[in-house]
Copies of this chain bind each other. A is one copy, B any other.
Amino acid sequence: MSTQRRHDREFVRTFFTSPTAVEGEDDSAKMIRSAAQLRGMQAPDVWVPDNEDATAPSMRDEGADNIVEVVSEHGADFPGEIHPRIVWHRDSPGTRYRCFQHLLQIADPEKGAIEHIDGFVIPEVGGIDDWKKADEFITIVENEYGLEEGSLAMSVIVESAAAELAMGDLREEMGKPDNNLERLFLLVDGEVDYTKDMRAMTPTGGLPPWAELRHNTSRGASAAGLIAVDGPYDDIRDVEGYNERMEDNRAKGMIGIWSLTPGQVVEANKAPLPPETGRWLLDTGDGTTELESEDGTQFYDGERIGLDETETGYSLRVGGDERDLGEDELREELLDMTEYVPSMDDIVDSMEEFEAAKEAGTGAISMTQSATIVIDGIEIDISKDRMWDEATYQAAMTPVSLFQDVYENRPDQREALAELYGENVVERAMNVG
């Protein structure tokens, strides 16, 4: 593929930032020293010692030193990639010069950190020509220190309208002889500063949803072989909200997200992987509710939907609407109202079955999912058919490819994955596709 991803990781679930230097502590590197020792589900795919917004401006020279110290000591053992964020601003040549200085400071091979650093994160980029300035500094530093040209990845924070537009040009710009933009790795949305750049306002001061920005970031990443990552979710107590945001992101093709705490890292490492057990959803007309599964039977225990037997069949109530239905009509109706969320096991099953059918010369097969649903004590058996063809198979491959990418690149998470899914499912998931 011409738009193949050029880096070790095909997927990045988690982008975890830590302040590089904290004032008033005995050890100003305390935060990154502890982050560097995270392992397993608590360790992110990409760890970002953050020498920009998370660190006070006056502490950033010390922060650059801390990065060198901590990464040279712990970098070799860190299970994810390491991409420090350094300062940059499209509108400030002084900040850009400081970026260059920090690059020189951190990347010096004699200090022993750069061999463990996969790349750098450049915030506050503007138009594509501004991206090229940062790229050029990295090229000069690579040359100065005898590193292979293009070996240091560059990720950007998209937090201006100009940067949003630039993402539409990456595919064209990345091949040009006068830059090394092939080093680009992550496109990370930064909604707080983006909101400021767009001069957007909400009554409560909360962030707008920025659906179009996230679409454009995901599209830019897809067109240029890069990886899209959403910005921070500030309310760290709100696990449900964080998961909803991630589900919305995944529907846009944006699988990665910023994490502010190890707790968020755990959530975001797990969220894009298929669930260990399947579940049934019921559309109640004003939203979707999950049915409670007991011994393979699916119970609805809400009040919005009611079911009664009548002399001629059934009476189904949804909110205030009541309808008399025959048994087949009721089953048809419930088929329309239900959806099944497949487990990892289900997905692997279907893929194996489709692979076998394809080998036998069949291009499309029907997969069936059955359930007994209980509403107001009345049991109804339903059976959902779904046609699987090459396209369905390929689409189902996305979560499985993600799983395989994680399994291969994160040995420290294998135990957790085996515990979650069972050894057997893990092994089969590694063999499909």
Could you tell me which A residues sit within 8 Å of B by CB distance? 1-3, 11, 23, 53, 56, 90-91, 126-127, 160-162, 164-165, 168, 171-172, 192-193, 195-206, 208-209, 211-213, 215-216, 218-223, 234, 238, 247, 250-253, 255, 272, 281, 286, 302-304, 320-321, 336, 339-342, 361, 363, 386-387, 389-392, 394-399
A316 vs chain B, min Cβ distance (A): 15
Check if B127 sits within 8 Å of A171, measured CB to CB: yes
CB pair A202 B250 closer than 8 Å: yes
Which of B23, B200, B253 sits near A250, CB closer than 8 Å? B200
A367 to chain B, nearest CB (A): 10
CB distance from A305 to the nearest CB of B (A): 10
Determine the residue in chain B with the shortest Cβ distance to A396: B205
- With a cutoff of 8 Å between Cβ atoms, the chain B residues found around residue A126 in the complex are 2-3
Question: Within the complex, which residue of B56, B192, B361, B387 is in contact with A391, where a contact is CB–CB below 8 Å?
Answer: B192
Q: Are A53 and B390 in contact (CB under 8 A)?
A: yes
Residues of B within 8 A of A165 (CB): 168, 171, 219, 223
Docked CA distance A201–B398 (Å): 7
Docked-complex contact B161 and A219, CB < 8 angstroms? yes
B341 touches A203 (CB 8 A): yes
Partner of A201, one of B160, B161, B272, B303: B272
Chain B residues whose CB sits within 8 angstroms of the CB of A56 once the complex forms: 363
* Bound CA–CA A76/B13 (angstroms): 55
Q: For A320, what are the chain B residues with a Cβ–Cβ distance below 8 Å?
A: 302-304
- Would you give the shortest CB distance from A90 to chain B, in whole angstroms? 7
Q: How far is the CA of A47 from the CA of B137 in the complex (A)?
A: 48
Cβ B303 vs Cβ A161 within 8 A? no
Given A165-B219, A199-B253; A192-B392 close (CB under 8 Å):
yes
Tell me the complex Cα distance, A44–B209, Å: 30
Neighbouring B residues of A234 by C-beta, 8 Å: 387
Can you list 27 contacts pairing A with B, beta carbon distance less than 8 Å? A1-B91, A2-B91, A127-B172, A161-B219, A161-B220, A161-B221, A161-B222, A162-B171, A192-B392, A193-B394, A196-B395, A196-B398, A198-B253, A199-B253, A200-B250, A201-B250, A201-B399, A202-B250, A203-B247, A203-B281, A205-B395, A208-B251, A209-B251, A211-B211, A238-B336, A303-B320, A304-B320
A394 to B159, CA, bound (A): 13
- Nearest to A201 among chain B residues (CB) is B250
Contact B391 A342 (CB under 8 A): no
Q: Which residue of B lies closest to A332 (CB)?
A: B237
Q: Which residue of B lies closest to A350 (CB)?
A: B205
Query: Could you say which residues of chain B place their CB within 8 Å of the CB of A399?
Result: 201
Do A340 and B204 form a contact, CB below 8 Å, given A3-B162, A195-B395, A198-B253? yes
| Docked CA distance A277–B70 (Å) | 49
Given contacts A161-B222, A208-B252, A303-B320, 17 further A-B contacts (CB under 8 A): A2-B91, A127-B171, A161-B219, A161-B220, A161-B221, A162-B223, A164-B223, A165-B223, A196-B395, A200-B218, A201-B398, A202-B247, A204-B340, A204-B342, A205-B386, A238-B336, A304-B320
Whether B127 and A193, one on each chain, are in contact in the complex, defined by CB atoms closer than 8 angstroms, is: no
> Which residue in chain B gives the minimum CB-CB distance to A19?
B363
Please state if A251 and B2 are interface contacts (CB–CB under 8 Å).
no
Q: Is the CB of A251 within 8 A of B392?
A: no
Q: Which residues of B contact A161 (CB under 8 A)?
A: 218-223
Q: How far is the CA of A3 from the CA of B251 in the complex (A)?
A: 33
CB-based contact A391/B200 at 8 Å: no
- Asked if B196 and A394 sit within 8 Å, CB to CB, the answer is yes
- CA A23 to CA B198, docked complex, whole Å: 42
Alpha-carbon gap, A242 to B216, bound state (A)? 27
Interchain CB contact (< 8 A) of A339 among B196, B204, B392: B204
- A342: min CB distance to chain B, Å: 7
- Say whether B255 contacts A201, CB under 8 Å: yes
Contacting A199 at CB < 8 Å: which of B1, B222, B302, B391?
B222
